[in-house]
Amino acid sequence: MTLGVIGVGTIAAALVEGLGGGDILLSPRGATTAARLARRLPGVRVAASNQAVVDGSGTIILAVRPQVVEAVVRDLRFRPDQKVISLVAATGIDTLRGWIGLDLPVVRAVPLPFVAGRSGVTPVFPPDPEAETLFNRLGTAIPCQSQQEFDLIAVASALMGSYFGILETAQAWLATQGLPEVSARTYLAGLFANLGRVATDSQQDFAVLRGEYSTRGGLNEQLFRDFLAGGGVAALTLGLDGLLARVRGQ
């Protein structure tokens, strides 16, 4: 069955790259990216219009920005046998269905650019076997049973900036103390890459891993204790609370 994609920008390109081709029909906007994907990947074609994507596809992925999605969707005529997978942020399922004007299955998903390398972890709401199969090909799908579960993963996705912020802070501190910046960068990037592998390969709770990676009375134990005492954990928790309120309000 043909997979249609409307809005061929950063995230759609990552998704199509990760699929490596297939029976995929792209919308014409984002022309340079669409043309590049069609040239490189077998089975990927560019349609003449957004409506031609809908007419020629069974399932349609919506990947335009939130600011234009209403105009884009209202302009299209869907068929009752179709499905829409929306990657659009801050746009609820009922709203989308209202603009579509038919009672179609509408599924939301939030892939990240890691899907290009088939290592993306993608929440899918509501659970949908077709969408889960798609995102399992691109890494791992997480079916969400409720809007709350979906919102919580959106909150978790906002840890990316803080992750780099921790690396940035540690690198700057090391450099101030006299370690060449390039050595600090190489060391920290390698350390965190290995920790990421431990986190994904292990089935242990993170609290257990923290214990395993903190010798009693050692440097790791001391740093986390100071982080806690200095308000680091409280600040992170407060920040997550604030994000959840913001995501729920959208």
Ligand X SMILES: NC(=O)c1ccc[n+]([C@@H]2O[C@H](COP(=O)([O-])OP(=O)(O)OC[C@H]3O[C@@H](n4cnc5c(N)ncnc54)[C@H](OP(=O)(O)O)[C@@H]3O)[C@@H](O)[C@H]2O)c1
Beta-strand relationship, 83-86 and 59-62: parallel
Is position 50 an interface residue for ligand X (rule: CB under 6 A)? yes
- The residues in 204-243 that bind ligand X, with binding defined as CB under 6 A, are none
Is the CB of residue 160 less than 8 Å from the CB of residue 153?
no
**Tokens 């869907």 identify what position?**
78
Q: Which is nearer to ligand X, 64 or 84 (CB)?
A: 64
Is the CB of residue 75 less than 8 Å from the CB of residue 20?
no
Which of 2, 9, 51, 130 touches ligand X (CB under 6 A)? 9
Q: How far is the CB of 28 from ligand X (least distance, A)?
A: 7
Provide the token pair at 96.
């989308």
Which of 15, 19, 25, 87 touches ligand X (CB under 6 A)? 87
Q: How many CB atoms lie within 10 A of CB 160?
A: 10
**Tokens 């809005």 identify what position?**
7
Measured N-to-C along each axis, helices 147-157 and 232-249 cross at an angle, to the nearest 10 degrees, of 130
Is the CB of residue 34 less than 8 Å from the CB of residue 26?
yes
**Contact region for ligand X (CB under 6 A) — 85-93, 147-155, 202-210, 227-235?**
85-93
Is position 120 an interface residue for ligand X (rule: CB under 6 A)? no
Q: Which is nearer to ligand X, 33 or 220 (CB)?
A: 33
Is position 54 an interface residue for ligand X (rule: CB under 6 A)? no
**Contact region for ligand X (CB under 6 A) — 57-65, 148-156, 191-199, 222-230?**
57-65
**Contacting positions for ligand X (CB under 6 A):** 6-12, 27, 29-30, 50, 63-66, 68, 72, 87-89, 110-113
